Each structure stands twice: as structure tokens, then as C-alpha cells.
Structure 1
Amino acid sequence: MTPLWTSDEIAQATGGTASTAFEVTGVTFDSREVEPGFLFIAMPGTVHDGHTFVDAAFAAGAAGAVVSQIVNGPHVLVDDTFAALQALGREARQRCNATIVGVTGSVGKTSTKEALYAALGRCRPGKVHRSVKSYNNHTGVPLSLARMPRDAEYAVLEMGMNNKGEIAGLTRQVRPNVALITAIAPAHIETLGSEEAVADAKAEIFEGLEPDGVAIIPNDSAHRDRLLKAARRRADQITTFGGGDADVHAVHAVSAEGGGSLISAALLERELTFTISQRGEHWVSNALAVLAAVEALGEDVAVAGLALADLGGLKGRGERHMIAVDGGEVLLIDESYNANPASMAATLKSLGAEKDVARRIAVLGPMRELGEHSGALHAGLAPAVLDAHVDELILIGDEMRPLAEQVIGKLSLDLANDVDEATKELAAKIRPGDAILVKASNSVGLARLVERMVKEGACST
């Protein structure tokens, strides 16, 4: 196997000194992710210093480490391990000839990244790299770059932010050939102040575009023209996707047998009819964005469409589980990873569209990082809850009280103090045939509710 990095290459890229010769097949800064042959980067931390876990990394099979203090085991000694990670990312981008797609947005960026990875992977098997999980920040992006194989032909890298200027820094590391924005919503509005500022922060992705770069923009966004203006400064080509007069749009989209959607789409060069396995109108938009990127890259959109039909459930982002209960089963829809007003409304609409269910239950936790807008935005979810014909609503925490005040008396409502209490209330309510939606910002910890229910007896669908 061709090594991902040799000790000499690591030392040269980082300006460090190798204690001995070694080769690595992977990179991580989390000792729990170490596999045999990996490079462990001992990152500084606010709670724990990565050097504390060097011995554990070697015990797990690490072939080497990047450290700022001498350790027992093969290592490259540097002055600053975070700077070393960034240097490895820059060198990986420099040495690889892969075409890079950068993805950002307030809603759907991880799902779209995964779908695009699957689509390109169907076109070029084994030659596509991506950022895993949501490794999309100042440490995750250089790590994703450092993990990029030398012979990758494509890479799909996600970029996120909390503040102005963060994506600008990330996109200059990634240097995308294609930059895609999925949607704009009031996520991170607490720090940025307005949706317009959110749009401007996301539009920073265009600042890193390579010459002849392509910008892909949501046509349905209220901030489309703002995004277009930013893209024109850097992009050689701009493609819009979504509804209306979008360059890539759905001519027809109807529910498909067994879930998902059957879509006839007009692309720049052709029309395509395909099926997506994921449910909800928001996934129609995601699929159009994916096909816009695939077409911009010159790959076979029909082959990409096959990949979208086969795309499985994404953990925390719509993964579906059938849970065994007394007398039958219930459907659990896991949307526990993230939440903002747009994604809440979209997934509630999908819950309302579920067919052949006895009751619809929604377990909803707070949407975080909304600042002074939090109360109004939580209260604003009421129409989506009511339109989804939710029979049982379990809300978690004081931040959800504005929503509770809007729907009290209109459906069965329970307020839980925390996830553990919500789990107990849900367990007492469920009946065979129920469909349950679980959604909140990741920091709420609703994944624990999902894990408990799955552990007690479930099969994924």
C-alpha cells in the first residue's frame, strides 16, 4: 500500500524533525480514532492536551506522532502541532491533482456533501475523498486535507463557521474548483446578527475559488442576488439550482413508491429522470445541487442519479429505524444531529407526509446559537408543527416554551427538563404504528434518546 505520508514528508511539510523513519496510512488528532498505521497529531486543547494521549495512540497501533515535546515512540517534533496540521493540509492540497468541491450552507451541507461523495464515487470508484462526520472547522478542514490520498481524483470538503471570516480562511486552504452553497437560514444568527450577514459569511467560500472555478447557488434563497454578486467577483461560471428560473430545476417531482421522490430535472445540457431514496422536499433541493456539481465536473449525471437512488440513511440526519415494541413496531426518524428553523420546518413537513402511521410524535429540543431571536424563532415553528398533524409533542427545556405557548391546547403536549426525562415520556407514550421524529441542535444530546431506543431493539431501514 502506498503510504499516505512518510516521516520525511511530514518533517519537510511541517519544518519538524523526525526521530526515526516511519510511514503512515491515516491521520487523526483523536486518539479514539487511531487505527494501526495512523499518524496521531497531539493537538493542544482547552481541556486536555493531546500529548496526554500519545501513549494510548501508540497502544492502538499508531505508526507515528506529531508532537511538540519528545515522546517515546516514532515522532516528528515541531514547535506547534496545530500549525503542523495546517501545514500538512496545505501540502496535501499542493501535491494532489484532485478536483475539489467545497460545500457550505446553513442547512443540508453535510447531507449534500455525503450525497455528492456517493454520486462521484459511483462515477469514479475508489478515487473520491471527503471530509468525514462534520469535520468542517479550523481543525477539521486541514485534517480532511491531510487525509486526502495522493491519487484522489475528486474531494468533497465541507466548510462551516460560527463567525465572519472563518470560511474565508478555510476556503483559502481548500482552494475549491467548485464552490457550492446549499441554503441560507438563521443559523449562527446569535454571533452574526442577521440573515444577510449569514449569507455574506457563507459567500466567503467563493474567495478561495481556483481559476476557471464554478459557483453553485440556491435559486430559492431570499439572498440569491447577494450570493450572485459575491460569486461574480471570483467565479468563471455560476449555476443556480432549485425552483423558478434556476439553471438546474425540477420539472416534476412526485413521491416515489416506498418513500423518496421521483424527479424529472432540467440540467444545463440535458434532462434526467431519477429517483432519490431520501424523503422530503429539502432532499429534492439537495439532489439538484448534487447534479449541478456533477454536471459542472463533466461526469455522468445518469450514473450519479443511480447513486442518489441507493443513498442510505445518514446518522442523525434522517436515518430511519424500525423499533420493536409490544404488539408491533414504531418508526423512529433520527434528525438529532442539528437543527435550525429551516431544517425543523422541512423535517416536520416530512413527518406530516408519512403514510400509514397510527400517530405522529415529535420530540423536539432547542435550536441553538439564535441569540435574541431565539424566542421568536422557536415560537415560529408552531405552524410547521400543526401542519404536520403532530399528535404528541414532547419539548425539551425552557428554550422551547415559546413554542409550547403557541400550540398548547391544540395537541397533546409535554415539557421535559432534559433528554433523559424526554426519553422516559416517549417510552410511556409509544404504540405500534407510531412515527416518531427526533430533532434538536447537536449540543442538546438527543442522540442519546435514539441510541437507547435502537439498543433496546431496532433494525435500520
Structure 2
Amino acid sequence: MSWLWTTEDMIAAMAGRPFGTLPEGITGISIDSRSIAQGEAFFAIKGDRVDGHDYASMAVANGASLLVVSEARLPAMGRLTVPMIVVEDVLAALGRLGLASRERSKARIIAVTGSVGKTTTKEMLRHVLSPSGKVHASVASFNNHWGVPLTLARMPDDTDYGVFEVGMNHPGEIRPLVEMIRPDVAIITTIAPAHLGNFKNIKEIAAAKAEIFEGLEPGGHVVLNRDNDQFNFLDRTAQSLGIEHIHSFGQHAKAEFRLAEFNGADENSTLWLTIGGETLEVAIGAPGRHIAENALAALGVVRIVGADMEKAIAALATLKPEKGRGKRHRLSIGSGSGSFTLIDESYNANPASMRAAIALLAASEPAGRGRRIAVLGDMLEMGEYAQKVHTDLAVPLLAAGIEHVWLAGAEMAALKESLPESVHVEYRENTGELTDYVLNSVAPGDVLMVKSSLGIGFGKIVAALLDKFPPFSDTQREL
């Protein structure tokens, strides 16, 4: 049996004590009792809203072969007969196991942060590095104080490339995470107005993102967006820390990994990348200029770590957008002979990602009498800038020629007031009311792009559309 961890190594790493007869090892680690697999260890983490100890019996019923629990909650485990490792603090123990994983690993480690594009770039790196070796990467957006140690602890010891996403909402949050990860390569995708309510200005956001440099391994590499206004600040910050290998990507003439040309289509795109004096044609199975920019960074990393560039470029042709991050659905409507396109951008939103999504909608061609429709909800954590950043969305919407804008949320009222009468605006106070309107108003040929901050819940609009309208088959006849 190939173990992720032997229980002997777990006890040593976590400073725990055995309770019961432990198995020789575990095949995986979970903090979710609902999705745990046979042979995995369940870490009973106490969160802000729920305590994993309360779900220990469910974890056992679903296949957990080992529990990691706290001394304080051990008496509450009652009659559970499954073996346990008992620790003072379960989250801290997971962190120590993550550190032990990093210590034993010989993988090239890449860490990704940025105001937008973190998860997309992380998934792109998984995609382009896989042909060159065994890749371990963060699941979904596991990028915080529990997601990073969990991802580290789950990393097999024979991993060739580890890819970690690092997020933050406040200053000081990246530093402890990157000190655990100790990346060989650190990427900052871009700096943009995200979580502005927690910062005085965008320079403070850049400084917080620059904390990723502080955990870089000796001789490590930094990859920065040369087109971003904060490039010079980030470049100087990296140099001040003694980092010698600073790379850049973008359209800028001085970018090391340079976008020479871009050609976008509805469902894919092509870019020409200049790297090392050579221009390479790259086909990507996903649309959008922002996707092309992420690809520059990913292919730059391929070159830095010495992976196979030809195989990486071939892999990009099969890349598809993720749920909530640009995934497209062609859905049947009417008698079944008509269809419309849904672009699911519902996972999250800030001013930069809103602009990218609007550009994606603008590049999409409606069928027949169809309309381009932007379905937009509030951007959260904007603080005193909230009214301005929502009002400012009128500029990219008008520039893109979007004539139908459907809105919900208190902050989006500001955008409603700033759009001219030439734009057909529908506004509802909440997501539920807008959902009803969308379901009853979409028509054949339409292209809908749905986007809001995660907390606004526009994923419910997407789910309702997918529930009401079945997938369109290519064998169906178009009107």
C-alpha cells in the first residue's frame, strides 16, 4: 500500500499522541465529513461557524480510518471506536504536518497571488506542467490559513511540481502562508482594486501582495505583470529583498514573456508569445484576453522550471474555463430548436474582473436577433470606494456596446443611475427577484454573462438557468 503519510510520521510531525490502535498509514486527508474517502484521515478543525468534532461520527460512517482531534474535545467523542491522534489544536497540527510535507518534498514549488486571475493561473499551471511530471495543486480556491496547510499536507512525497494559490483580505495574511510554502517561483498576476474596504489605497494592496516575496527560497524567481501600474513598486520591493531573478510578462516592450499578438474568438483564443528571442503561436481552449495574459505567466514558469514547452503549449489547447470563472453553457429554449449562451462568471467580482468579463461578453456573438446581456451584482468589500467603482462600470459597458444590463443589489443602484436611456436597464433589489426576471426574459440567440461577488449569490441565477433550460444538442435544428 502506498501511504500519503504513515501514522508514525504524522505523530512525529504533529506532536500528537495515539488513541487506540492506529492504522499503518492513511491514503488522504479531509476536513469535510461529507466527501471523505475510505482510508483517509479526518481533521476535526474548529472553524468560525462549525466545529469538525461535531461531524466526527459522520466522517467515520463515510470511511475515515483515523481522526485527528483536540485534547479538549476528546471526551465528547463518546463511543467512537475509530483510532485517533490527539493534539492540542487541530488546525495548528495540520500546519505542522504541512511544514513536514514541504520539508520532505523535492518538488519545484510555485506560489500564485494577485487581485484577479489566481485560480485561473493556478489551474493553467496544473494543466501545462502535467505533461512534464506529477503535479499537486490547490483544490478550488484553498488559499487561506487552513487551505494552504491542507494543500501542503496533502502533497505526495513524489510530487514533481507543487502549485499553491495564496489569497488575502488584509495586510499580513500572505506572509505566514508563503513562509510555509517556501516557493521556488512566486507569481503576482496583477494588482487591482480588490478588498479596497480593508486598505487605504491600491499601493497598500500591492504591498500586501508583495509579502509573497518574503518566503521565496534562496535563488528563487519572481514573475510580475509588466503592464500593471504597480510593476515598478513590486520590482523595487523584490530587489530590496535581495531577489535576483525577476521576470515579467505582458504586452510591454520590455516584458520578458511578451504578448506579441492576440486573436480572440467566442470559445477559444490564439496568442503569439515572444520568449527568449523566439515567437511561439499558442492556441488556448478558452476565450478572453485576460486568459491569454495568464497564459503568458504560466508559460514563463514552464521556461523557468525547465519543463517541456512544446508539451505545455499543446496542453493549453485543451484548457476549458472552470465553473464560475467563464464556463460556457449552450442551453435550449422555446420548442427546443432555439438556444442561448450562458457565460458563468458568478464566482466572484472586483472592478478588474468585471471589466474582463464585460470584454468577454463583448467578444461573444449573439445568434439571430439575440442580445448581449450583462447580468451584474454588487462587488463587495469596496468600502468608501463602493459607489465610485460601481458607477465606473458604465464606461466599459458603453465602450463594449452592451445595450442590455440587468442588475441586482444595493450598490448596483449607482450603476443603474449612471447608464444612459439608450441602455435597457432592469434593476431588482435582490438576487431572488432578478432570478425570476432572468428566467422569464431570456430569449433565443441571447448571450448572458452573469457576474457578482460570491456573497451576493449570483451562482443561484446560474443554477436556476441550468435547472430550467436543458443543454442544447448540436443535432438540434437552430431557428
Length-normalised TM-score, structure 2: 0.93
Measured against aligned partners, the alpha-carbon deviations of 1:235-293 in whole angstroms (never above 9, x if no partner) come to 2311100011211111121135x632221111136331111121111111111011111
* Equivalence for 2:243: 235
Pair 1:269–1:16, CA change in 2 (3 A): farther
Which 10-residue stretch deviates more, 349-358 or 215-224?
A: 349-358
Q: Is the contact made by 2:332 and 2:472 (CA closer than 8 Å) also made in structure 1?
A: no
Aligned to 2:34, what secondary structure does the other structure show? helix
Measured against aligned partners, the alpha-carbon deviations of 1:149-169 in whole angstroms (never above 9, x if no partner) come to 110010100000011111111
* Equivalence for 2:427: 415
> Within 5 A, what are the aligned runs for 1:64-213?
64-68=66-70, 69-70=73-74, 71=77, 72=80, 73-124=82-133, 127-213=134-220
Measured against aligned partners, the alpha-carbon deviations of 1:77-116 in whole angstroms (never above 9, x if no partner) come to 0011111011111011111111100000001010010011
For 1:11, the aligned partner's letter is I
Among 313, 336, 352, the alignment partner of 2:346 is: 336
Counterpart CA distance in 1 for 2:102 and 2:242 is 20
Counterpart CA distance in 2 for 1:377 and 1:415 is 18
The Cα shift of 1:407 comes to 0.6
Counterpart CA distance in 1 for 2:472 and 2:169 is 33
Aligned to 1:85, what secondary structure does the other structure show? helix
For 1:38, the aligned partner's letter is E
Pair 1:275–1:64, CA change in 2 (3 A): same
Aligned to 2:411, what secondary structure does the other structure show? helix
Counterpart CA distance in 2 for 1:349 and 1:55 is 49
Measured against aligned partners, the alpha-carbon deviations of 1:133-189 in whole angstroms (never above 9, x if no partner) come to 100001100001011011001010000001111111110000000000101101011
Counterpart CA distance in 1 for 2:5 and 2:469 is 42
The Cα shift of 1:320 comes to 0.4
Q: Is the contact made by 1:6 and 1:21 (CA closer than 8 Å) also made in structure 2?
A: no
1:27 aligns with 2:29: yes
Among 342, 346, 349, the alignment partner of 2:356 is: 346
1:280 aligns with 2:268: no
The Cα shift of 1:234 comes to 4.2
For 2:184, the aligned partner's letter is N
Number of equivalenced pairs: 458
For 1:216, the aligned partner's letter is V
Counterpart CA distance in 2 for 1:25 and 1:214 is 33
Aligned to 1:249, what secondary structure does the other structure show? strand
* Equivalence for 1:430: 442
For 1:270, the aligned partner's letter is E
Counterpart CA distance in 2 for 1:306 and 1:439 is 30
* Equivalence for 2:477: none
Counterpart CA distance in 1 for 2:470 and 2:131 is 29
Q: Is the contact made by 1:331 and 1:433 (CA closer than 8 Å) also made in structure 2?
A: yes
Pair 1:460–1:198, CA change in 2 (3 A): farther
1:2 aligns with 2:10: no
* Equivalence for 1:14: 14
Pair 1:92–1:460, CA change in 2 (3 A): farther
Q: Is the contact made by 2:339 and 2:472 (CA closer than 8 Å) also made in structure 1?
A: no
Which 10-residue stretch deviates more, 23-32 or 163-172?
A: 23-32
Length-normalised TM-score, structure 1: 0.97
Q: Is the contact made by 2:403 and 2:422 (CA closer than 8 Å) also made in structure 1?
A: no
Counterpart CA distance in 2 for 1:89 and 1:158 is 15
Counterpart CA distance in 1 for 2:269 and 2:36 is 39
For 1:12, the aligned partner's letter is A
The Cα shift of 1:408 comes to 4.5
For 1:248, the aligned partner's letter is F
For 1:169, the aligned partner's letter is P
The Cα shift of 1:11 comes to 1.0
Among 361, 374, 378, the alignment partner of 1:362 is: 374
The Cα shift of 1:48 comes to 2.0
Aligned to 2:380, what secondary structure does the other structure show? coil
Aligned to 2:261, what secondary structure does the other structure show? strand
For structure 2, which runs of at least 5 residues remain unmatched after alignment?
474-479
Counterpart CA distance in 2 for 1:441 and 1:49 is 26
Measured against aligned partners, the alpha-carbon deviations of 1:204-235 in whole angstroms (never above 9, x if no partner) come to 10110001100000001100001101222242
Measured against aligned partners, the alpha-carbon deviations of 1:50-88 in whole angstroms (never above 9, x if no partner) come to 100000001110111110133321110001111101111
Aligned to 1:329, what secondary structure does the other structure show? strand
